[in-house]
Amino acid sequence: MHEDKLFTEKIRKKFSFDQAVASVFDDMLSRSVPFYDEVRKLIISLILMEAKPGMKVLDLGASTAQFLIDLHGKSQIPLSLKGIDNSEAMLERARQKCRAFGADIELELADMLAYDYNEEDYIIANYTLQFIRPMQRLELVKQLYEGLNAHGIFIFSEKVVFEDKVLDKEMIDIYYDYKKAQGYSEYEIAQKREALENVLIPFTIDENVRMCKEAGFSKIDTIFQWANFVTFVAKK
């Protein structure tokens, strides 16, 4: 796993999931997203409690397929695992890892806004919706609702903002301290924040819940939160 050094030099463009990001993405996630590994394990445990042979699990924004590879490794029964991503660079890394781990996972280059969701049992989106433009986000979640089977479940993790602006600033400062403890310099943190400006657009917890309800989901709960990082479970 290559170390994330992308933002040690002055940025030249907005953040994108290109070859440079793909090459360090696993390290970037583990150092940039608090408790990322634990959240991944939590979601996998939840899925495996309901697992049946052939159950369909679709990962949106699958990136390097680490979530699906981990799920494949933990499952005692064969599951139908698929990941979609709109970055060929990410999918190439994913294919290499799947071959290395001997994981039978289908990977597809696709736009999640135009994808044909069909009788999925689980749809997973870990820190993916926040990169979809707010005007399109509700329409996507409606598509996900329609694409799940009658008892389907949508699990997603998001960075959030707080309506209390003082608290929001405090959470951001605490998160930056976390990143510094992971070895990122203040310069790297500032550079990445600038690169993500208007690319990553977070909602509040309430906005995420309202979005799911408006899309049709009847039960929406949070199963994890650390500061401004939250994991949601939405059921039909």
Determine the pLDDT at residue 9: 44
- pTM of the model as a whole: 0.86
Rounded Cα gap, residues 5 and 188, in angstroms: 8
- The structural domain count of the chain equals 1
List the domain range (segments joined by +) for residue 122: 19-235
Give the span between the Cα atoms of 184 and 83, in whole angstroms. 30
| Residue 52 identity (one-letter amino acid) | K
Q: What is the pLDDT of residue 180?
A: 84
Residue 181 in any domain: the answer is: yes
pLDDT digit of tens for each residue in the chain (236 aa)?
444 343 344 444 443 444 544 445 566 676 788 999 999 999 999 999 999 999 999 999 998 899 999 999 999 999 999 999 998 988 998 999 999 999 999 999 999 999 999 999 999 999 999 989 999 999 999 999 999 999 999 999 999 999 999 999 999 999 988 988 877 766 565 665 655 555 688 999 999 999 999 999 999 999 999 999 999 999 99
Strand 229-235 and strand 148-159: the pairing is: antiparallel
Examine residue 7 and state whether it is found in any structural domain, yes or no.
no
Neighbours of 32 (CB within 10 A): 18
Pairwise CA distance, residues 206 & 194, whole Å? 26
57 is a domain residue? yes
CATH of the domain at 124: 3.40.50.150
Q: Is residue 138 part of a domain?
A: yes
Q: Look up tokens 């290395």; give the residue.
A: 100
4 belongs to a structural domain: no
Q: Tell me, what's the pLDDT at 5?
A: 41
Place of tokens 């599951």: 79
